[in-house]
Amino acid sequence: MNISMIQSIINAVEKPAIFIDHNYVIKAINQAYTEHYHSQVKIGKSHCYQISHNADSPCDQHGEDCPLISCKADNKNHRVLHIHKNGQKKEYCDILMRPVINDDGITIGFLEILDKVSYASHNSKNDKLIGISPLFKQMLEMINRCANSDISVLLHGETGTGKELVANAIHQASPRKDRPFIVVECTGLTDNLFESELFGHEKGAFTGATSSKKGLIDLAHGGTLFLDEVGDIPLNLQVKLLRLLETGSYRPVGGMEVKYADFRLICASHKNLTNMVKEQTFRQDLYYRLAAFPLYLPSLTQRKDDIPLLAKHYLKQASLEQKTFSSAALTTLMLYPFPGNIRELKNIIERAILMSDDDIIDINSLGLNYEFPNNNPLSIDKKANTLTLSQLEQYYLRLVCQNNQNKNIQEIADLLGVSKRTFYRKLQQHHINH
């Protein structure tokens, strides 16, 4: 297989694509790639990491998984999520790397296909999923894997973790993105209300039905139906939902005409549905219909790296970018357990904005009624509301080591995006053992 043949292959790819050799050198490129990246590609000279990361070394040396290394190891396709630097902008990209094998069974290079993740951001953006933590990135990878199919997705996680935002992200990344995204709040639905809301009703179907009304399934036609808190649907109503999913058909309340549904189903629950199945408060057959692709949403305490980013985002949303957080206030937020997750963080920031009398939001403005452990840096200088960078670094490194006790020094260094030597030097500097 020669370069001209490979060029023909990548020209047929609609998404940005390149062909690279074993040493990261770009040998072929399609028009979509040329148009997407600001840096000029010199065929046979430019390395992929120079164009996508503005870096002078491969991405695995900067804290990201390198799909090329994985492909070279097992000769299989690999998919990863990266943050690319495109000019002055940074953007999430979903990367698929495929080994290209000739007729003799020799891997002659690798095809890299990129897909911009438009629903997520590593900095403040409205109507985007925001984060940089490892578990956040894992969640994005799962969204990318399920988005392009019609498989039923079950979102599970604590209250306030942003299930509706994730459901909408799956919809926006799917082929149904130009069709409706309809939300159904399942909590408190009675028999009549459930059927009427979901299936619609005809005029005179019940007392007060003075006109016909389309159901939410009708409104979601061709798009996505999101059932929030599906664990709150009573048993007697679960069978009606199951029948809809099994037959793909329904009748409006009081109607005779059978209608056929066309929607992608996403459900969410903060309850443990597998336990509910064991307790026989949730139908097993319905559960397996809903949970074809389970997707876990991490709690905010599992995403500590994202807390400063989200806090500043909510500050920006309030159009108060002149306000900033004291270092102690940000550390306090990272120490706080957030039982209400992202929703609670947003409320805390909105309250702190009102409580702060100047441009610095300090600990007192946060108004947290919580007893912090004694071994945290806030005990150093609680009144001054300031911490040195060294104090913050020491505490953060202790926190990272504590949360990654099962990882070795190299793995934690990779997680932090620094070399093993730099990480080890920092541990010695702060007298931290790992």
Contacts of 72 (CB under 8 A, 6+ apart): 22, 99, 107
Tokens 């990654």, residue located: 404
Give the mean pLDDT of 4-12.
Answer: 88
SS3 state of residue 397: helix
Residue 78 identity: H
- 266 - beta bridge partners? 153, 226
Q: Are 304 and 296 in contact (CB under 8 A)?
A: no
What digits encode the pLDDT tens for the residues 136-163? 999 999 999 999 999 999 999 999 999 9
* Predicted local confidence at residue 202, as pLDDT: 79
Q: Are 83 and 125 in contact (CB under 8 A)?
A: no
* Predicted local confidence at residue 371, as pLDDT: 66
* Predicted local confidence at residue 97, as pLDDT: 96
Closest CA to 321 of 126, 131, 124: 124
**DSSP character string of 27-71:** EEE-HHHHHH-SSPP-TTT-BHHHHHH--SS-GGGGTS--HHHHH
Question: How far is residue 273's CA from residue 284's CA, in Å, rounded to a whole number?
Answer: 9
* Predicted local confidence at residue 103, as pLDDT: 86
CB atoms within 10 A of CB 423: 22
Q: Which residue has the higher pLDDT, 375 or 21?
A: 21
Could you tell me if residue 127 is left (phi over 0), alpha (psi between -120 and 50 degrees) or otherwise beta? Answer: left
Q: Are 298 and 135 in contact (CB under 8 A)?
A: yes
Question: How far is residue 43's CA from residue 39's CA, in Å, rounded to a whole number?
Answer: 12
Give the mean pLDDT of 99-111.
Answer: 92
Eight-class DSSP state of 131:
-
- Summary count for the chain: helices (H), strands (E): 18, 18
Query: Where does the pLDDT of residue 95 fall: very low under 50, low under 70, confident under 90, or very high at 90 and above?
Result: very high
Taking CB atoms within 8 Å and a gap of at least 24, the contacts of 348-353 are 349/311, 349/314, 349/315, 349/318, 350/314, 350/318, 353/315, 353/318, 353/320, 353/323
* Predicted local confidence at residue 299, as pLDDT: 94
Question: How far is residue 50's CA from residue 46's CA, in Å, rounded to a whole number?
Answer: 7
Contacts of 370 (CB under 8 A, 6+ apart): 336, 337
Question: How far is residue 216's CA from residue 52's CA, in Å, rounded to a whole number?
Answer: 43
Closest CA to 37 of 79, 90, 82: 90
224-228 and 181-185: which strand pairing?
parallel
Could you tell me if residue 203 is left (phi over 0), alpha (psi between -120 and 50 degrees) or otherwise beta? Answer: beta
- Angle at which helix 389-403 crosses helix 327-335, to 10 degrees, equals 10
324-325 and 360-361: which strand pairing?
parallel
What digits encode the pLDDT tens for the residues 36-74? 998 899 999 999 999 999 889 998 887 788 999 999 999
What digits encode the pLDDT tens for the residues 282-303? 999 999 999 999 999 999 999 9
Q: Which residue has the higher pLDDT, 378 or 173?
A: 173
Closest CA to 51 of 17, 82, 94, 86: 86
Query: Where does the pLDDT of residue 393 fall: very low under 50, low under 70, confident under 90, or very high at 90 and above?
Result: confident
Question: How far is residue 78's CA from residue 42's CA, in Å, rounded to a whole number?
Answer: 25
Q: Which residue has the higher pLDDT, 380 or 124?
A: 124
Q: In the predicted model, what is the mean pLDDT of the chain? A: 88
